[in-house]
Amino acid sequence: MSRKNWDCSVSLTDSDRELLASAGTLANPTIRRQAVAVLLRQPESARDEAANLLGQGFVAATQPSFHYIPKGDAMATEAAFDEAYRRLAEHTNDFTDVSAASLTAALTQSPETLAPLRMILGFTHNELAWAMKLAQPGTNTTGGTLKKFERSPVPEQATAKRTEMVSSVADAVLAVMNRSILQVPESARGFFHSKLDKRDTRLGWDTVAASTGGVPYSALLYQRYVGGVWRQVQDAYSEVKGDNLLEQPIADLFDDHHIPYYRSGSGAAGATQTSETFGLSPGPDFVLPEESPTVIIESKVAEDGGTARDKAARIKNAADAARDRGLLPCAVVDGKGWSERPNALVDVVIATEGRTYSLDTLPHLLEIPEIIGLRES
């Protein structure tokens, strides 16, 4: 039989197409695995069609979450931010008397004033830490230290180190606003703005003071246009989204059905701890059960195609590591990024042999015998 005839004999049938297109929303893990097998046995001539059908079927079960704004436990409420701003304005006489002394007094007596002060500059904690190094070479304050300072109460007695840090913050803020550091080079000004090239800081503290009486609504809208409303919050609390959008519902599902599990701590440190504890690299988000593991679950939110590609690679690596240990790999994914990069989602589905779920299909995890078999009475 010629290769051409052989290809035709094993190309997609209508039942194959139906299976591939529906697998992403089916509860039965065996049928999901069969869909992956259908894809893998296709010759090159039918592989793209099969992969597209499988990918679109799983994409149909995902949903976007770009409209979710994280709520960090340490994030100031609007009322608290207003109060911090009021205190900063009070210490600087509505920004008409901004000096090292007035800023130092504000930060010393009310550390939370660092938040509105950073927002005037448009700086993150890490960016301000860099500015401090530029203003005073040798300063080694980190963004994490500044974050802790901003969110902690005033100590009963300030240390010399804390006092020195506050002074460095004040000097850096003044240096930024005076544009003595972090200028945009002349050669780049045709292509880039400075963070200070905005209505309230264009002329330094003079325009800050002028803005205390209010700015037009159009100015607020333009700031959103160029900077993105909620951008600072999304960047600062990105881990909250990952931890709670998928991981918490998974944990709640297992708690409700009395299924024992180990859940990794937040961020890279948590994954590292899991990796060291269970000898799995990368460390997955869930290991079931903690004693004598049989299943791992990796969960990933992706809101753009590039992120989906990178997270698919991590899930694949986690699945490979699990199989090397004789463990069953599963994945839970969501976000619009998977629809932008469906081929990345197909890679995840193949790596998990169809055991890939989303928020909408999360209960189907309980259809996996190795998981429901862990249920405690």
The predicted-structure confidence for 97-128, as pLDDT tens digits, reads as follows 999 999 999 999 999 999 999 999 989 899 99
Q: What DSSP element (H or E) covers 200?
A: none
The pLDDT assigned to 9 comes to 45
What is the pLDDT, as a whole number, of residue 260? 97
Q: How many helices (H) and strands (E) would you count in the chain?
A: 20, 5
Please give the mean pLDDT across all residues of the chain.
91
Q: pLDDT at position 241, please?
A: 60
Categorize the per-residue pLDDT at 272 as very low, low, confident or very high, splitting at 50, 70 and 90: very high
Reduce the DSSP state of residue 126 to 3 states and report it: helix
At 2 the pLDDT is: 39
Q: How many CA atoms lie within 13 A of 123 on its CB side?
A: 25
Contact (Cβ atoms closer than 8 angstroms) between residue 289 and residue 261: yes
What is residue 334's three-state secondary structure?
Answer: strand
Pairwise pLDDT comparison (228 vs 15), residue with the higher score: 15
pLDDT in tens, 17-49: 999 999 999 999 999 999 999 999 999 989 999
Peptide bond into 282 cis (omega under 30): yes
Which residues are CB-contacts of 206 (< 8 A; sequence separation ≥ 6)? Answer: none
Give, in order, the Cα–Cα distances in Å from 355 to each of 32, 197, 238, 328, 341: 7, 50, 26, 9, 19
The pLDDT value recorded for residue 330 is: 98
| Nearest C-alpha neighbor of 371 from the set 293, 303, 263, 267 | 293
Q: Quickly tell me which residue has 């701003």 as its tokens.
A: 85
**pLDDT at residue 328 in the model:** 98
Does the pLDDT of residue 130 top 90, yes or no?
Answer: yes
Cα(331)–Cα(300) distance, integer angstroms:
8
Cα atoms in the 13 Å half-sphere on the side-chain side of 160: 0
Instruction: Give the pLDDT mean for 144-152.
Output: 93
Determine what percent of the chain is predicted with pLDDT higher than 70: 92
Quote the pTM value: 0.75
Residue 23: beta bridge partners? none
